[in-house]
Amino acid sequence: MAVLLHEGDLPGDLFAPGPVAVDTEAMGLNTRRDRLCLVQLSDGRGDEHLVRILPGRDAPVLKAVLEDRARLKLYHFARFDLAVLRHWLGITATPVYCTRTASLLVRTYTDRHGLKDLVRELLGIEISKAQQSSDWGAPHLSEAQKDYAASDVRYLHRLKEELDLRLAREGRAALAEACFAFLPWRAELDLAGWPEVDIFAHG
């Protein structure tokens, strides 16, 4: 297993056929203000690839992977990542599977749906979130930052397998698919100015 950092773009299509796990790191949580700094990817075979996004430089190989409609993208909290990728790279990175959304549908016995909580309960692995709030725009990323970023995609394939079993068991697989299909539009609503408003709510 290796964590590989690429400057500006992927060097080529490095991934086996099938789903690819995706995560992003930005300068903050305000999508329009805080620039995208890093995109992390893994095809579940053991290596994690980190792509540093360089201002003013295109990333055609990365975009091609993310826009490939034949390749499922696995996220944790896809709503944020989809909005960031849409705003800063101009792409719609679909089709989507969101482990946080799936968790909310089947782990109704808890209000803890963070990635750390999911990995601990479903996989029995402890991961650190110590680098979550750090300077992702720094000219050099520390080893701790790189390992943290990689861990955000390292377990998503295995989480999907476990969550799919629970979705099927609870009869909510079709509901989950409908939610996943809507997430790109939820991200568009965020970007269009409705981040905190439920437009379907009464009153």
pLDDT tens-digit map of 102-125 = 999 999 999 999 999 999 999 999
| Residue 121: partners with Cβ closer than 8 Å, 6 or more residues away | 107
Instruction: Give the separation between CA 27 and CA 48, rounded to whole angstroms.
Output: 21
**Residue 98, pLDDT above cutoff 70:** yes
Mean pLDDT of the chain: 95
pLDDT in tens, 49-95: 999 999 989 999 999 999 999 999 999 999 999 999 999 999 999 99
- Ramachandran assignment for 140, one of left (phi > 0), alpha (psi -120 to 50 degrees), beta (any other): beta
| Residue 133 confidence (pLDDT) | 72
pLDDT in tens, 16-32: 999 999 999 999 999 99
Decide: helix, strand or coil at residue 93: coil
**Number of alpha carbons in the 13 Å side-chain half-sphere of residue 175:** 13
Report how far Cα 139 is from the mean position of its chain's Cα atoms: 23
Domain edges within the chain: 3-192
| Residue 1 confidence (pLDDT) | 79
Cα Rg for the chain, rounded, in angstroms? 16
Per-residue pLDDT band for 130 (boundaries 50, 70, 90) equals: low
pLDDT in tens, 138-190: 999 999 999 999 999 999 999 999 999 999 999 999 999 999 999 999 999 99
Strand stretches in 53-93, DSSP E: 73-75
| Residue 85 confidence (pLDDT) | 98
Query: Could you tell me which CATH class the domain 3-192 is placed in?
Result: alpha beta
**Residue 40, pLDDT above cutoff 80:** yes
| Residue 20 confidence (pLDDT) | 98
Per-residue pLDDT band for 132 (boundaries 50, 70, 90) equals: low
| Degrees to nearest 5, angle at CA 169 with 164 and 171 | 95
Bridge-partner residues for 136, per DSSP? none
Instruction: Give the separation between CA 49 and CA 58, rounded to whole angstroms.
Output: 17
Helices 78-89 and 173-192: angle between axes, nearest 10 degrees: 40
The fraction of the chain above a pLDDT of 70, given in percent, is 98
Instruction: Give the separation between CA 83 and CA 169, rounded to whole angstroms.
Output: 31
| Residue 203 confidence (pLDDT) | 75
